[in-house]
Structure 1
């Protein structure tokens, strides 16, 4: 597991718009927010990312770059984009399970109509130098940090120059 104030692994993800997104090439004013979602099969993820769509300008105003990623295939991720109201959310796909493990994410075996294996949700707030500021990792779709709470926390962090915690 990556501790706060440690450099994160680099992340190279294909986006549904045909481009590649690389964490080490991001140049946010304050943070990059990597949101890992379970995939198209998850109604809780749909609600979360559709809420994110409505908050993108607030994150942008705070100098936060955003990406949402899953282990879904390209075809499934494009279907997600088409079926969910997330038109401006950068959407990455095929986040490798083994890479997800390096980030400390939990992996589930599919049941019913889920993929064979997939990544459970996580959220990583990363400084421009690729240092982890904070993370929230779940074992199932519930109990994710609210996006309004994240916005308030980022505002506080920037105003008070609050350091990353949990590094000891």
Structure 2
């Protein structure tokens, strides 16, 4: 089977989503100072996602100050995404919802089947991507389980270095 993961240094996959505030979000229309950071989370059913996104909310202003625009995204419905946004205290981070299977696959995310009544029938496992203002995928991480997440503090601490040293995307050789 051919490797279909997105490759850093190449155009990022398209991503258009509805936001819980009844607006549309399109990656192609973003104009961040440094990066657009897309945080893919499993859904409102996931307590690890709650902790991770709450930590992200605490660092949100720091990311913004470094030119990183952030959006949280899941395959959850509008209702479930709104519940996560409100109950987890994620305002004002934009919250996209109804990520499709095709979009998740295009971003290299792993898909899982729900195991309990609390979990959706299908959902994506967590991931995080940085996209440059010109739409190039800078970096991406996708996990096959909820327990493996990027270190947000480390990432935040390296944004200035990436920009100052014009540090190139890594992992650019396609398999």
Quickly name the TM-score band, shorter chain normalised. Answer: over 0.9
For normalisation by structure 2, the TM-score amounts to: 0.93
For normalisation by structure 1, the TM-score amounts to: 0.97
Residue in structure 1 matching 2:81, options 64, 77, 92: 77
Structure 1 SS opposite 2:144: coil
Matching of residues 55-134 of structure 1 within 5 Å = 55-112=59-116, 113-134=118-139
- What does residue 171 of structure 2 align with? 166
Structure 1 SS opposite 2:138: strand
Q: Name the count of aligned residue pairs.
A: 168
- What does residue 151 of structure 2 align with? 146
Deviation at 1:161, TM superposition (A): 1.1
Task: List runs of 5+ in structure 2 lacking aligned partners.
Answer: none
Residue in structure 1 matching 2:41, options 37, 44, 48: 37
| Distance of 1:33 and 1:150 partners within structure 2 | 11
Deviation at 1:9, TM superposition (A): 1.6
Deviation at 1:158, TM superposition (A): 1.2
- What does residue 17 of structure 1 align with? 21
Task: List runs of 5+ in structure 1 lacking aligned partners.
Answer: none
Residue in structure 1 matching 2:11, options 7, 11, 29: 7
| Distance of 1:80 and 1:143 partners within structure 2 | 20
| Distance of 1:48 and 1:85 partners within structure 2 | 12
